[in-house]
Amino acid sequence: MAAAKEIRRPIAATIRLTVPAGAARPAPPVGPALGQYRLNLMAFCKDFNARTQKYKPDTPMAVTITAYKDNTFEFIVKSPSVTWFLKKAAGIESGSSRPGHLVTSSITLRHVYEIAKLKQSDPYCQFMNLESICKSIIGTANSMGIKVLNIPSIICIFALVGYLMQNGKAKEEHIIVSFCIYSCMSLCYG
């Protein structure tokens, strides 16, 4: 009843790179990083390009390469960073120079939800619930000066006022109250 022992290979290094999707070549930054550990550059480039072919070209992919002492390697490809997704969703090149004071752009909760669904496939996020990932993304957006709009609640308020107005039940007070609620929500949620 001897249990099968897992053979552990000695690790030479752990290399972290950001490589564009489908564009791994033996040139810098990939070549020098892997070459110093005598790893097979072409094998890595072919494998990496095959794994990232479903992404748009030039999407920055984070890759963690584990180099072993016997000149073999394994690597894990992660999805692009949250900041890259937020910049693409907001349509900006960089975040705010003064986050918290200067708003560069805005996104909706729908954008946050879509980014969270993509990030949930990452190894370090796969056991987190979607709400936690969304809260983390909202925090990142705030630190970049991107305002997250809570559009569904605003739409509900205006739909309610519109319904009341159509049925003749809306009074001037209802409209004033709805705008007060809207302004409070915009201050609280962005």
Q: Which CATH number describes the domain made up of 11-78?
A: 3.30.1550.10
The DSSP letter of residue 97 is S
SS3 (DSSP) at 156: helix
The pTM of the whole model exceeds 0.85 = no
Q: How far apart are CA 137 and CA 115, in angstroms?
A: 8
Position 43 scores a pLDDT of 95
In this structure, which topology does domain 82-149 adopt according to CATH?
A: Arc Repressor Mutant, subunit A (1.10.10)
Q: How far apart are CA 155 and CA 158, in angstroms?
A: 5
Bridge partners, 148 (sequence order): 107
Q: How far apart are CA 135 and CA 119, in angstroms?
A: 13
Nearest to 175 by CA among 156, 162, 185: 162
Please list the pLDDT of the chain residue by residue as tens digits (190 residues).
455 566 788 999 999 999 999 999 999 989 999 999 999 999 999 999 999 998 898 899 999 999 999 999 999 998 899 999 999 999 999 988 998 889 999 998 889 989 998 998 888 888 888 888 988 999 999 999 999 987 655 555 555 556 666 666 555 555 555 555 555 455 444 4
CA distances from 84 to 32, 63, 92, 136, 139 (A): 25, 15, 10, 14, 14
What dihedral angle (degrees, nearest 10) is formed by the CA atoms of 178, 182, 185, 187? -130
